[in-house]
């Protein structure tokens, strides 16, 4: 199943989801589906790629183990970041009415399917 269809299904499965993007380790977009605009989701992807990189470094310094997921809650939105491989990550932007627990569950399913696609 192509990346875009998996991302589209993720947005359809989560009420209030605003966009999903796969980025590489440099923050470059691989594929995305968005209701907030292509530019906005790409900027979100690039910036959250930086955040994930810094968190990984901190965890390495503190010998805390591998990073599984990150949830960022702000006054308006929520952002979920899931590493797919060492080089790629999945980011989901949620609106204020979205339920983070449901989104995390659906992201785990989507991430597993995406990881299988990366194994080619």
pLDDT per residue as tens, the chain (120 positions): 589 999 999 999 999 999 999 998 888 999 999 999 899 999 988 888 888 788 888 888 888 877 788 888 988 899 999 989 888 999 999 999 999 999 999 999 999 999 888 775
DSSP 63: T
Architecture of domain 3-118: 2-Layer Sandwich (3.30)
Q: Could you give the CA distance from residue 98 to residue 114 in angstroms, rounded to a whole number? A: 22
Name residues whose C-beta falls within 8 Å of residue 83's C-beta, 6 or more positions apart in sequence. Answer: 52, 66, 67, 68, 69, 89, 90
Quote the tokens at residue 107.
């992201």
In Å, how far are 74, 84, 87 from 20, measured between CA atoms? Answer: 17, 13, 17
- Give domain limits for the chain: 3-118
pTM: 0.89
Q: Which residues pair with 41 in a beta bridge?
A: none
């Amino acid at each position: 199943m192509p990346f875009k269809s998996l991302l589209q299904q993720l947005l359809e499965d989560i009420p209030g989801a605003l966009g999903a993007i796969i980025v590489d380790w440099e923050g470059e977009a691989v594929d995305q589906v968005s209701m907030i605009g292509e530019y906005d989701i790409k900027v979100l992807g690039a910036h959250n790629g930086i955040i994930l990189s810094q968190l990984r470094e901190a965890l390495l310094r503190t010998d805390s183990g591998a990073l599984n997921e990150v949830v960022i809650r702000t006054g308006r939105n929520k952002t979920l970041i899931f590493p797919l491989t060492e080089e790629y990550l999945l980011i989901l932007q949620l609106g204020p009415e979205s339920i983070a627990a449901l989104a995390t569950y659906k992201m785990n399913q989507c991430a597993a399917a995406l990881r299988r696609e990366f194994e080619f």
